[in-house]
Structure 1
């Protein structure tokens, strides 16, 4: 089975939708941490907000390489601090967060300390199955734009 990067990205987008709560893994000095973050997807990137004083944020500043996971979709990427959430041009994240995650937005909005983190996917592994329930993996390398589909038996 062959697949183009556009076809693979469509499957990834269908599995992730507009927003998800994803596990975020980071590591500094051989000390890994994982926690859930509320993510919004647009511009082929993953966005979440966090307080600039949190331990995870300090880890991301020291080592921007992260892994994220939701229900069979694992993303390896680079996290970048985009500044305060309220300073994003067009305030796209804020609008989408308010739309999809209203309760969290309402309960945890601290305009003076919340920063927007943008994760650029570098490598994605998707576990899926066909109509006959045969499992397979889709491996997407965003740097080389190559896709490998691997049957799992």
Structure 2
């Protein structure tokens, strides 16, 4: 990671570093739950507008779970995101078709195999709380907690020197 224990990160700095670490796209594990039935699966995510986006078929089991309970968690490496999912409608109906353009650019194989104009929807995840595991330059572990609702950042050392 590029976070530094030596820095006093503001919320805006931590948020910028978090999205910088994710880059343009990642395959992330998505966890969702309805009535204490938990599911996890990989989704191809894009990052823009300070949110996380993925597409899915409007009739898949995961989509039906999201309709009932929009609270989700996403994970990639040492980054966990807790947030709220929102159905933004069909990919082809998005104004400006930003998602479609980015998906073609970064995930062409998936776009080419799994694009069904009549059933593929965009899911937007608004981060609420992010936990980042990182290590200092001298190999000590620590956690960075980014609270999007409170706009606060907490750095917590895990290892003691």
TM-score class, shorter: over 0.9
Aligned equivalent of 1:103? 109
- The 1-side partners of 2:134 and 2:45 are apart by 21
* Aligned counterpart, 1:146: 152
Alignment of 1:2-151 (within 5 A): 2-151=8-157
| 2:3 equivalent in structure 1 | none
Q: How many residues end up aligned between the 2 structures?
A: 153
Deviating above 3 A after TM superposition, structure 1's stretches of 4 or more consecutive aligned residues are: none
| Partner SS for 2:116 | coil
Structure 1 gaps of 5+ residues are none
Alignment root-mean-square deviation, CA: 0.8
- Segments of 5+ residues of structure 2 without an aligned counterpart are 1-5
Counterpart secondary structure, 1:132: coil
Query: Cα offset for 1:132?
Result: 1.1
Shift of 1:18: 0.4
For residue 149 of structure 1, give the secondary structure of its aligned residue in structure 2. Answer: strand
- Give the C-alpha shift of residue 10 in structure 1: 2.3
Give the whole-Å Cα distance in 1 for the aligned partners of 2:22 and 2:45.
Answer: 10
Q: How far apart are residue 45 of structure 1 and its match?
A: 0.2
TM-score normalised according to structure 1 size: 0.98
Instruction: Tell me how far apart the structure 2 counterparts of residues 83 and 111 of structure 1 sit (CA, whole Å).
Output: 11
